[in-house]
């Protein structure tokens, strides 16, 4: 086994201001001074106006194998693997309530909301595009067949998906959301996972960094 390299080049260690005893959590989204946290089959709503005094104000349980959360206008959109997608109204942070339980095409993993459109990374079935203009009755529009999509990010008329086993970042034109078109694929140094776009740059989180294994099926030790 190769030695673990020092991480000193990444700067000083970040300080934990406060830790809440919520147990294992998968994802968090922030809107204004409110945080939306998913973990333990639940959505937690937290007041983060004072980060050193984070306060959990509400909780909705029974949401299955929660994975990611996206928030827009105090509506929380939650991917939950085999349990599909949950849409929660959190306009009252003390009493979030379920608006809809949507049966996604496959294992709902990544999620992103933009305007009236909801995007769900469905692993082997790519990215599902949904009309969520009526959040109580979302409607399937199409699927972008990107491969094993893990996460998804949208900017303008383009969708970006982190594709796991193919180790790629896939770009999709969604100017017509009923007919998405794959426009580009970029190789990643590891399995495609989280993705974020800032300006002209795409930032991709990857896992299992073994380029030799990806290319030949062999590790550097075999």
Tens digits of residue pLDDT in 75-124: 999 999 999 999 999 999 999 999 999 999 999 999 999 999 999 999 78
Beta bridge partners of 140: 130
Its pTM stands at 0.88
Beta bridge partners of 55: 47
Total residues found in the chain within this entry: 222
Q: Using an 8 Å Cβ cutoff, are 63 and 83 in contact?
A: yes
Whole-number pLDDT of residue 207: 82
DSSP letter, residue 3: P
Query: How far apart are alpha carbons 114 and 90 in whole angstroms?
Result: 18
Query: How far apart are alpha carbons 35 and 220 in whole angstroms?
Result: 42
Query: CB neighbours of 99 closer than 8 A, spacing ≥ 6?
Result: 75, 87, 88, 89, 135, 136
CA 111 to chain centre: 5
Nearest to 131 by CA among 160, 162, 90, 102: 102
Whole-number pLDDT of residue 117: 98
């Amino acid at each position: 086994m190769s030695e673990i390299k020092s991480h000193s080049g990444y700067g000083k260690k970040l300080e934990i201001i406060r830790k809440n005893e919520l147990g294992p959590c998968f994802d968090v989204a922030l809107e204004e001074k409110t945080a939306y946290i998913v973990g333990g089959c639940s959505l937690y709503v937290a007041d983060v106006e004072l980060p050193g005094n984070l306060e959990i104000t509400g909780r909705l349980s029974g949401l299955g194998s929660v994975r990611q959360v996206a928030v827009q206008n105090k509506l929380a959109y939650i991917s939950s693997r085999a349990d599909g997608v949950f849409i929660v109204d959190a306009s009252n942070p003390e009493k979030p309530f379920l608006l809809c339980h949507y049966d996604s095409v496959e294992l709902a993993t990544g999620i992103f909301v933009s305007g009236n459109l909801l995007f769900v990374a469905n692993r082997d079935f790519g990215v599902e595009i949904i009309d969520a203009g009526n959040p109580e009755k979302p409607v399937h529009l199409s699927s972008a067949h990107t491969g094993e999509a893990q996460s998804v990010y949208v900017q303008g008329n383009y969708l970006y998906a982190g594709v796991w086993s193919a180790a790629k970042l896939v770009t999709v034109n969604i100017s017509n959301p009923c007919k998405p078109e794959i426009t580009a694929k970029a190789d990643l140094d590891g399995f495609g996972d989280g993705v974020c776009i800032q300006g002209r740059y795409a930032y991709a989180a990857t896992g299992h960094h073994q380029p030799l294994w990806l290319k030949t099926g062999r590790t550097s030790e075999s």
